[in-house]
Amino acid sequence: MTNFAATKPMFTLPEGMIYLDGNSLGPLPKAAPAAMEKVMRDEWGEMLITGWNRAGWMDLSTSVGDRIARLIGAEPGHVIMGDTLSVKVYQALASAVALNPGRKVILSDNGNFPSDLYMAQGLIRTLGQGHELRVVDPEAVEESITDEVAVLMITEVDYRTGRLHDMKRLTEMAHAHGVVTVWDLAHTAGATEVKLAECKADFAVGCTYKYLNGGPGAPAFIYVSPRHVDVAEPALSGWLGHEAPFDFDLDYRPAPSIERMRVGTPPVLGLTALSAALDVWDMADMGDVRKKSQDLTDMFITEVEARCPALTLASPRDRDARGSQVSFRFAEGYAAMQALIARGVVGDFRAPDVMRFGFTPLYIDEADVMRAVEILADVVNNDLWDRAEYKTRAKVT
């Protein structure tokens, strides 16, 4: 059993703050600053260039990848770290498209995060082969999986509403039609029980600064199924994905493993902070995390609906149909969220009217939920949001 009372004090959370935004940026693991200092002083400072060998920097992308593999149900040796999620989306999609050369349709849904769609649009322009990005309603994905589709590119959880797609079912349907799947786990890695191997997912990508608590701009990950890893063509054929980077050949030959999805030099400092976060994850079982997150989100929905009649639930009511966030619609949602933040309850806002609250069992418990609802009810029922200072939009909402 995961001991959540033991994981909570492993994070730095400002006194009095209830942090319900771990779905956007996880908090600082208390051990991370010392881990960073050690790598900076003892490794970078003392070893300099020899750190690549002596401190094992070059192996970090795969060793950290293996620690993430456990959390997303992937086979060991099939996850590698690097770059940001948008870049990994491009890479996975390019390789997936190349596996289905006769087909021209990339299928996604309008609940996807825009960056994934933008990357697909950019890839299509670069390929110049007349591919089409077909974006349908989330409910229409199943019926749109046809023999025309090359790749199904889906983000499991809708960032606005928290709606969760059924990975197993959609992957089975895709495979029945010869479609290759790319799954974006941005809002599920560290939030739900992802089972990539069991679902026979083809490619998956995700970021590590949200539920995984790796820190702002932490490196992303990419998974390639053992069925494809030796044939997947890397579109971003950087030197560290080469079979023998230090031969300095003038021609590219991909490494015969997940290493081909490396592009350039590993982000050692980012991987160091992420490793400290994964030390906390080593204490967690994803089944326990998922169960507790469902309990917390159910509790939040019940309490908010009972005490804040002006708010409308935008997330699925069925706990198995949503991720680890709960969204409520409220016309003055932006101002209300600013008023909440001013009172120590930190969620975020997504246009046009969605107030978003993320639930992260490693450091959020039932008492936090009850206190957050109390403050939310005060803000909404007493119009405490109705002040000019809460209505000016900042750059990041």
Ligand X SMILES: *Cc1c(COP(=O)(O)O)cnc(C)c1O
Would you please indicate which residues are annotated as catalytic (active-site) residues? Answer: 113, 184, 209-210, 356
CA distances from 203 to 120, 179, 291, 329 (A): 15, 12, 26, 33
Closest CB 63 distance from ligand X, rounded Å? 21
β partners of residue 182: 153, 203
Residue 167 sits in the site that holds ligand X (CB under 6 A): no
Q: Pick from 67, 78, 187, 242: which binds ligand X (CB under 6 A)? A: 187
Q: How far is CA 367 from the centre of its chain?
A: 26
- Out of 19, 57, 90, 159, which residue is the one contacting ligand X (CB under 6 A)? 159
Site for ligand X in 73-92 (CB under 6 A): 84-86
Closer Cβ to ligand X, 80 or 207, answer by number: 207
Cβ of residue 10: shortest distance to ligand X, in angstroms? Answer: 24
x/- map, 202-221, ligand X, by CB under 6 A: -----x------------x-
List the one residue out of 177, 248, 181, 190 whose CA is nearest residue 22: 190
SS3 173: helix
Shortest Å, Cβ 241 to ligand X: 19
CB 21, min distance to ligand X, A? 12
Cβ at position 110, least distance to ligand X in Å: 13
Contact between 25 and ligand X by CB under 6 A: the answer reads no
Q: Which is nearer to ligand X, 51 or 323 (CB)?
A: 323
Least distance to ligand X, CB of residue 101, Å: 26
3-state helix, strand, coil in the chain (%, to 5): 45, 15, 40
| Spatial contact of 189 and 208, defined as CB atoms under 8 Å apart | yes
Asked if 43 is part of the footprint of ligand X (rule: CB under 6 A), the reply reads: no
Contact 80, 65 (CB under 8 A): yes
Q: Which stretch binds ligand X (CB under 6 A): 181-189, 226-234, 287-295, 309-317?
A: 181-189
Tell whether residue 236 is a contact of ligand X (CB under 6 A).
Answer: no
Q: How far apart are the first and last CA of the chain?
A: 36
CB-CB contact of 188 with 194 (8 Å): yes
Window 92 to 111, contacts with ligand X (CB under 6 A): none
Measured between alpha carbons, how far is 218 from 208 in angstroms, rounded to an integer? 6
Phi then psi for 226, rounded to 5 degrees? -55, -25
* Inter-residue contact 60 to 244 (CB < 8 Å): no
Asked if 35 and 275 count as a contact pair (C-beta separation under 8 A), the reply is yes
Instruction: State the DSSP string of 104-129.
Output: -EEEEETTS-HHHHHHHHHHHHHH-S
**Closer CB to ligand X, residue 85 or residue 377?**
85
| 326 φ, ψ (degrees, to nearest 5) | -130, 135
* Closest distance to ligand X from the beta carbon of 205 (Å): 8
Judged by CB under 6 A, the chain residues 106 through 145 that form the site for ligand X are: 113, 115-116
> Whose Cβ is closer to ligand X: residue 25's or residue 339's?
25
Residues in Cβ contact with 358 at an 8 Å cutoff, skipping those fewer than 6 apart: 20, 21, 22, 23, 24, 211, 324, 325, 347
> Is residue 19 a contact point for ligand X (CB under 6 A)?
no
265 binds ligand X (CB under 6 A): no
Size, binding site for ligand X by CB under 6 A = 13
Q: Is the CB of 93 or the CB of 186 nearer to ligand X?
A: 186
Q: Which is nearer to ligand X, 84 or 257 (by Cβ)?
A: 84
- Cα–Cα distance measured from residue 257 to residue 383, given in angstroms and rounded to the nearest whole number: 57
389 or 395, CB closer to ligand X? 395
Per CB under 6 A, 150 contacts ligand X:
no
Contacting positions for ligand X (CB under 6 A): 84-86, 113, 115-116, 155, 159, 184, 186-187, 207, 220
